[in-house]
Amino acid sequence: MGKLTGMGLTAQLHETPGHPIIVAKNKHIAGRRTVLLYGHYDVQPVEPVNEWRSPPFEPTIRDGRIYCRGATDNKGQLIAHVSGLAETLAEHGDLPVNLTILFEGEEEIGSPNLKPFLEAHREELACDVVAISDTGMVGEGIGTFTYGLRGIACMEVKVHGPTIDLHSGIFGGAIANPVTMAARLVATLHDDEGRVQIPCFYDDVNDLQDWERTSWAALGDGDAETLSLTGSPALFGEPGYTERERRWARPTAEVNGIGGGYQGEGSKTVIAREAFFKLSFRLVPSQDPERILDLAEAYLKAKAPAAVRLEIKRGHTGMAYLTDPHSELGQAAQRALLSTFGGDVALIREGGSIPIVQAFKDVLNADTLLLGLALPDCQAHAPNENFPIANLEAGIRLNKALLRELAA
Amino acid sequence: MGKLTGMGLTAQLHETPGHPIIVAKNKHIAGRRTVLLYGHYDVQPVEPVNEWRSPPFEPTIRDGRIYCRGATDNKGQLIAHVSGLAETLAEHGDLPVNLTILFEGEEEIGSPNLKPFLEAHREELACDVVAISDTGMVGEGIGTFTYGLRGIACMEVKVHGPTIDLHSGIFGGAIANPVTMAARLVATLHDDEGRVQIPCFYDDVNDLQDWERTSWAALGDGDAETLSLTGSPALFGEPGYTERERRWARPTAEVNGIGGGYQGEGSKTVIAREAFFKLSFRLVPSQDPERILDLAEAYLKAKAPAAVRLEIKRGHTGMAYLTDPHSELGQAAQRALLSTFGGDVALIREGGSIPIVQAFKDVLNADTLLLGLALPDCQAHAPNENFPIANLEAGIRLNKALLRELAA
């Protein structure tokens, strides 16, 4: 807040039932294009803490990168834009466009309070276009325009069996083990090759367009890059698609966590009374998240034996997003990327989800320009999250170029 | 030690690479039968601690039962015997038999140091019969002679995938999720009805004898009792067997714990770099635990896709045990039970494992009399473990009667 007002913007903190929302503006002048710059200041949980090389909330610079939780997702990218605005304001006394800053603190839990806020402040937030840097670059120094995102739908399943933990010698063989049953339910989600087996799951999935497959294939060897980034022994996924296509344009069912029974060293011969697993589905355009959760819930309930009881809790959801990269605004964004990074601009979709992008479309009728500054190895959501200082500096340049291009 | 020497026994503490072993004796006189009384002072882990109604290591009496970890398994039963010996010694100045006490502290981890100790102290521990109270009674006040135990074989499986935790939006769909793969491996262990699917798993399993099936069926409705004790929504297990037969005479594969990925509240959209599950197999006479672990390891490795790497760690093992309840010593034990409890004596096998019983047979060439004092709801291995004071008192009477009967 202090930084924003110090730059010459008016800024306001809005309380919500969750974390507050910040809105800041320059003086809006009729006839100029209005740009809404969005970012989020909340972060993912930091565990496992012991895998961090430096404390997650003490920013540490090593080898030209800033390491801390939020360094890339999203504080680092957000600060690049703010710094770009500060430079333009210092140099010119104003920005070339009407600017509205919108920063929130609940993106990582699906922005539950932002959509109602947009609806309540529709006029105040009215804009021609939204700009966000919360996505990735395909590689170091390659300007990247993201024209699509996957949606998300989360669910937690608890499998209840006996009312107490049991001795697995005394009772083993006669009752259903909730841990085993949870694992068996997880195993029903995919076939051996990785296709999701929930009936009707793929019903609303649109095929990739030819130009997309061609353009993505031209980005180079995605397999090698993903193997190197992840350290996985081998790639694995839905047959018939490249690894980029699987990540950017195909839906998934992933188990983000599973637990039950003895977690310590060695063995404890127990049958746990309950087990859980946490699911998130990544969705592609046209898939309705609530319908996917309906399908999943019905499927899991049908698969569970009568000897256990399921407790299903739905989590946050968000629609996938897709815009036309060849629109006037899309081309302006690509010119800004070109002037910042040189070379060719990569046109991609991404596997992650920013549900609020769909809300900007629905409530403000504005398209969103996704101009990511994260590199594939920035470890968003993982230990040792980091952000290269070069990208922070590029982000400052990008912000300045973007406002110039959008003003034109 | 103090208590034992105070009663008039000679007692010795033997250090081992793990927890020490206590040996105590009265004066052995030629021509008398020699009885080895075994017990263990170690206990299972106490977690989940928050489910205990009173602290697990502060013995608390409620409604005629002593609540604490070890109350039934095995400290309470061990103390009943020691108290019986003390009473006999106080009344008669000696015991009617040559007695050797053998108490150890590693039963719950498979007694790794006891078998070498038996071998090293073969003469000192020579005996005609072993007596142990570390099993259960079929119901309140029903004297129970256990003539068979299941064996055990433990194994921990870690499933490694990527070298770091990954964002499930960015990478989901392109790599194998170790949590999903761990669950899929667990799911391969059984068919839908609960039969173990590891090839050759049932090869060495002996059929039940007719008198066993008849005698166990006469013990009453095991289904209702197990449903009530466990609170499970329904029974579940290998078709073709009653629930008692499944628990006492059929082998199992149970998952005692599973874990991987996010364990906290809400969701974290992560693909964990690894997951684990802990297995224990309960085995029946003639099944070799090491062979079972070989079969399981080969099966799991064959089932795992190349996109993950398995790390398998073997845990403790123990052979199943079976003796003839109609032998002379078996009949003496049943007379002691009859004089302690009245009514009929139940002849049963049990699902749990006391691997050392097989070692007594192998090293000392002695059969073991299993004279359990635990009730089905004593919650061994679970929170709120307890032991009825009435069973403590019955155990004292049983000890005295048993030594009299074995002396005859």
Confidence grade of residue B39 (pLDDT, cut at 50, 70, 90): very high
What's at B335, amino acid-wise? R
For helices A178-187 and B178-187, the axis angle rounded to 10 degrees is 110
Residues of B in contact with A234 (CB under 8 A): 176, 305-307
Residues of B in contact with A309 (CB under 8 A): 233
The residues that bridge with B348 in the sheet, in sequence order, are: B146
pLDDT of A355 strictly over 80: no
Q: Cβ B256–A235 below 8 Å, yes or no?
A: no
Q: Is the peptide bond before A399 cis (omega within 30 degrees of 0)?
A: no
Q: Would you state the structure tokens that stand for residue A102, as one six-digit string?
A: 């919108």
Give me the residue from A180, A232, A267 closest to B280, CB to CB: A267
In 3D, which of B398, B394, B298 has the Cα closest to residue B64? B394
Q: Which of A154, A158, A202, A230 to mutate to test the interface with B (most CBs of B within 10 A)?
A: A230
Q: Which residues lie below 8 Å from residue A271, measured CB to CB, with a gap of 6+?
A: A161, A162, A165, A166, A167, A168, A171, A172, A175, A177, A178, A179, A261, B254, B256
CA distance B263 to chain A (A): 6
Give me the residue from A183, A256, A376 closest to B268, CB to CB: A256
* Residue A307 C-alpha from the chain's centroid: 37
CA dist B159 and B179 (Å) reads: 8
Residues of B in contact with A308 (CB under 8 A): 233
CA distance A342 to chain B (A): 25
In 3D, which of B381, B373, B376 has the Cα closest to residue B143? B373
CA dist B403 and B369 (Å) reads: 12
CB B34 within 8 A of CB B100: yes
CB count in 10 Å sphere of residue A83? 18
Q: Cβ B237–A189 below 8 Å, yes or no?
A: no
Give me the residue from A152, A255, A379 closest to B261, CB to CB: A255
β-strands B10-14, B21-25: how paired? antiparallel
By the 10 Å C-beta count (0-12 exposed, 13-18 middle, 19+ buried), B214 is classed as: exposed
- For chain B, what is the mean pLDDT? 95
Task: Identify the pLDDT of residue B189.
Answer: 98
Q: Cβ A172–B234 below 8 Å, yes or no?
A: no
Q: Cβ B256–A261 below 8 Å, yes or no?
A: yes
- The residue behind tokens 């502290």 is B105
Q: Cβ B280–A266 below 8 Å, yes or no?
A: no
The residues that bridge with B217 in the sheet, in sequence order, are: none
Confidence grade of residue A380 (pLDDT, cut at 50, 70, 90): confident
pLDDT of A393 strictly over 90: yes
Give me the residue from B44, B262, B353 closest to A268, CB to CB: B44
pLDDT tens figures, A321-336: 998 999 999 999 999 9
CA distance B317 to chain A (A): 11
Element (H, E) at B343: none
pLDDT tens figures, B368-384: 999 999 998 899 888 99
Q: Cβ A254–B47 below 8 Å, yes or no?
A: no
State mean pLDDT over A391-407: 97
CA dist B236 and B234 (Å) reads: 6
How far are the Cα atoms of A178, A395, B254, B318 from residue A270, in angstroms, in the given order? Answer: 11, 54, 9, 17
Task: Identify the pLDDT of residue A221.
Answer: 87
Residues of A in contact with B267 (CB under 8 A): 109, 154, 156, 256, 278, 280, 315-316
* Prediction ipTM score: 0.85
CB B275 within 8 A of CB B185: no
Q: What is the rounded end-to-end Cα distance, in angstroms, of chain B?
A: 29
Q: Would you state the structure tokens that stand for residue B353, as one six-digit string?
A: 């494992």
Q: Cβ A45–B309 below 8 Å, yes or no?
A: no
Task: Identify the pLDDT of residue A396.
Answer: 98
Q: Which residues lie below 8 Å from residue A218, measured CB to CB, with a gap of 6+?
A: none
State mean pLDDT over A113-129: 96
**Rounded to 5 degrees, what are φ and ψ at A279?**
-110, 145
Task: Identify the pLDDT of residue B408.
Answer: 81
Give me the residue from A167, A231, A277 closest to B163, CB to CB: A231
CA distance A331 to chain B (A): 25
Give me the residue from A171, A180, A306 closest to B230, CB to CB: A171
What's at A76, amino acid-wise? G
- The residue behind tokens 């669950």 is B183
What's at B41, amino acid-wise? Y
Q: Please give the DSSP secondary-structure letter assigned to residue B93.
A: S
Q: Cβ B48–A165 below 8 Å, yes or no?
A: yes
Q: Is the dihedral of CA B299, B301, B304, B305 positive or negative?
A: negative
Q: Would you state the structure tokens that stand for residue B74, as one six-digit string?
A: 């095995």
Task: Identify the pLDDT of residue B109.
Answer: 87
Which segments of B67-177 does DSSP mark as H helices, in order?
75-92, 114-120
Total CB pairs under 8 A between chain A and B: 361
Domains in chain B with CATH codes: 2-149+320-407 (3.40.630.10), 151-205+251-318 (3.30.70.360)
CA dist B126 and B138 (Å) reads: 31
Q: Which of B256, B310, B384, B385 to mutate to test the interface with A (most CBs of A within 10 A)?
A: B256
Give me the residue from B187, B254, B275 closest to A187, CB to CB: B187
Task: Identify the pLDDT of residue A64.
Answer: 97
CA dist A308 and A177 (Å) reads: 8
Q: Which residues lie below 8 Å from residue A81, measured CB to CB, with a gap of 6+?
A: A37, A39, A131, A133, A395, A399
Residues of A in contact with B378 (CB under 8 A): none
pLDDT tens figures, B211-263: 999 999 999 888 999 999 899 999 999 999 999 999 999 999 999 999 999 99
Q: Is the peptide bond before B178 cis (omega within 30 degrees of 0)?
A: no
CA distance B87 to chain A (A): 32
Q: What is the rounded end-to-end Cα distance, in angstroms, of chain A?
A: 29
Q: Is the peptide bond before A48 cis (omega within 30 degrees of 0)?
A: yes
Task: Identify the pLDDT of residue B380.
Answer: 87
Task: Identify the pLDDT of residue B34.
Answer: 98
pLDDT of B135 strictly over 80: yes
How far are the Cα atoms of A71, A190, A389 from residue A61, in angstroms, in the given order? Answer: 11, 42, 9
Task: Identify the pLDDT of residue B376.
Answer: 85
- Picking from A49-53, A376-380, A397-401, B68-72, which range would have the lowest pLDDT averaged per residue? A376-380
How far are the Cα atoms of B36, B84, B95 from residue B91, in angstroms, in the given order? Answer: 21, 11, 10
Query: Could you tell me what percent of chain A has a pLDDT over 70?
Result: 100
Task: Identify the pLDDT of residue B145.
Answer: 97
Q: Cβ A161–B232 below 8 Å, yes or no?
A: yes
Give me the residue from A237, A262, A315 closest to B174, CB to CB: A237
CB A190 within 8 A of CB B183: no
Q: Cβ B187–A182 below 8 Å, yes or no?
A: no
What residue of B is the nearest CA neighbor of A310? B233
Q: Which residues lie below 8 Å from residue A190, measured CB to CB, with a gap of 6+?
A: A196, A197, A253, B180, B184
CA dist A40 and A102 (Å) reads: 8
Task: Identify the pLDDT of residue B288.
Answer: 96
Task: Identify the pLDDT of residue B327.
Answer: 94
What's at B46, amino acid-wise? V
What ranges make up the beta strands (E) of A234-385? 252-261, 270-271, 274-283, 309-318, 321-322, 346-350, 367-371
pLDDT tens figures, B302-314: 999 999 999 999 9
What residue of A is the nearest CA neighbor of B375? A170
CA distance B171 to chain A (A): 6
Residues in chain A: 408
Task: Identify the pLDDT of residue A247.
Answer: 96
Give me the residue from A192, A282, A379 closest to B173, CB to CB: A282
Q: Cβ A271–B277 below 8 Å, yes or no?
A: no
Give me the residue from A51, A184, A266 closest to B187, CB to CB: A184
Q: Which residues lie below 8 Å from residue B316, measured CB to CB, with a gap of 6+?
A: A267, B109, B110, B112, B152, B154, B355
pLDDT of B137 strictly over 90: yes
Helix (H, G, I), strand (E, B) or coil at A213: helix
Task: Identify the pLDDT of residue B110.
Answer: 82
In 3D, which of B104, B28, B34, B41 has the Cα closest to residue B74? B41
Helix (H, G, I), strand (E, B) or coil at B112: coil
Q: Cβ B233–A306 below 8 Å, yes or no?
A: yes
CA distance B1 to chain A (A): 29
The DSSP-derived string for B227-265 is HHHH--SSB---TTS-HHHHHHHS-EEEEEEEEEE--SS
